[in-house]
Amino acid sequence: MLSRVVLSAAAAAAPSLKNAALLGPGVLQATRIFHTGQPSLAPVPPLPEHGGKVRFGLIPEEFFQFLYPKTGVTASCELQRKILKGPYVLGTGLILYLLSKEIYVITPETFSAISTIGFLVYIVKKYGASVGEFADKLNEQKIAQLEEVKQASIKQIQDAIDMEKSQQALVQKRHYLFDVQRNNIAMALEVTYRERLHRVYREVKNRLDYHISVQNMMRQKEQEHMINWVEKRVVQSISAQQEKETIAKCIADLKLLAKKAQAQPELGRQ
């Protein structure tokens, strides 16, 4: 739409651009809206699972059913199913007619036809089922591969969802972590506080001990000093004369004691 407006504006503005009107239909085509109808090709209708049933690989079953009302059946025995014999008689008669009238001529080609067709029928009868199964297996593998991709993708997303949920659950339980940390910090603070208290106690005790030991030492020193002074004085006070008298007295006492000691053992022996 806009391009048409632009075109007309351009044509009005510069008359030499009127040649651009030749581009008009192209532009119109370019602006036409496509794909407005219902999509008729999708979804594709599903294929039938099995083909039509045939006899001898050539003649469809419907032919036999078609001739049933006209030719009837021949029941071989009561227990067996009724076999439709009409088309077989028709077929045999047709073949014999073609052969006898030489409408179909027996040539060398006939024998090659017999051998070729016989060989093909033998191959199909022997390997037909296994080849069919192989084809089915190929298709199944293809689908299984894609299915696996899909399942892997679903599983991945499911795992992501589970992880997200567990993360959210963990977030709910985060307060335990904080409580534990808080407790730890409180204990650490308590320990530090007690340690410091103990240190203070020890320091104070040290100082008091120091004072006590200082006092004790002073007293001891004073005592010693006093004793020494007294001794010195006493020793000084003992004059020489007193010393002689004391020594003479000690000797007299000792003699007395000796006599007593001598008298005593005699008394003892008696």
Partner 1 sequence: MNENLFASFITPMILGLPLVTLIVLFPSLLFPTSNRLVNNRFVTLQQWMLQLVSKQMMSIHNPKGQTWTLTLMSLILFIGSTNLLGLLPHSFTPTTQLSMNLGMAIPLWAGAVITGFRNKTKTSLAHFLPQGTPTPLIPMLVIIETISLFIQPMALAVRLTANITAGHLLIHLIGGATLALMSISATTALITFIILILLTILEFAVAMIQAYVFTLLVSLYLHDNT
Applying CB under 8 A, the residues found at the interface with partner 1 are 44, 47, 106-113, 115-119, 131-132, 134-136, 138-139, 142-143, 146
Q: How far is the CB of 147 from partner 1 (least distance, A)?
A: 12
| Cα–Cα distance for residue pair 69/84, rounded to 1 Å | 10
Among residues 66 and 119, whose Cβ is nearest to partner 1?
A: 119
The set of residues, in sequence order, having a beta carbon less than 8 Å from that of 27 and lying 6+ positions away, is 3, 4, 7
Distance CA 46, CA 3 (A): 45
Q: Which is nearer to partner 1, 119 or 193 (CB)?
A: 119
* Comparison of 141 and 184: residue with beta carbon closer to partner 1: 141
Residue 114 C-beta: closest distance to partner 1, Å: 8
Q: How far is the CB of 111 from partner 1 (least distance, A)?
A: 4
Closest CB to partner 1 among residues 142, 211: 142
Minimal distance in Å, beta carbon 125 to partner 1? Answer: 16
Burial 218-250 (b: 16+ CB within 10 A, else e): eeeeeeeeeeeeeeeeeeeeeeeeeeeeeeeee
CB of 113 to partner 1, least distance (A): 3
Alpha-carbon distances of 60 from 32, 55, 86, 264, rounded to whole Å: 51, 6, 14, 169
**Other CB atoms closer than 10 Å to residue 138's CB: what's the count?**
10
Residue 3 one-letter amino acid:
S
Between 120 and 177, name the residue whose CB sits nearer to partner 1: 120
Structure tokens at 166: 């567990």
- Nearest CB to partner 1, comparing residues 120 and 161: 120
Q: Give the chain's length.
A: 270
Report the C-alpha gap between 48 and 60 in whole angstroms: 16
CB of 131 to partner 1, least distance (A): 7
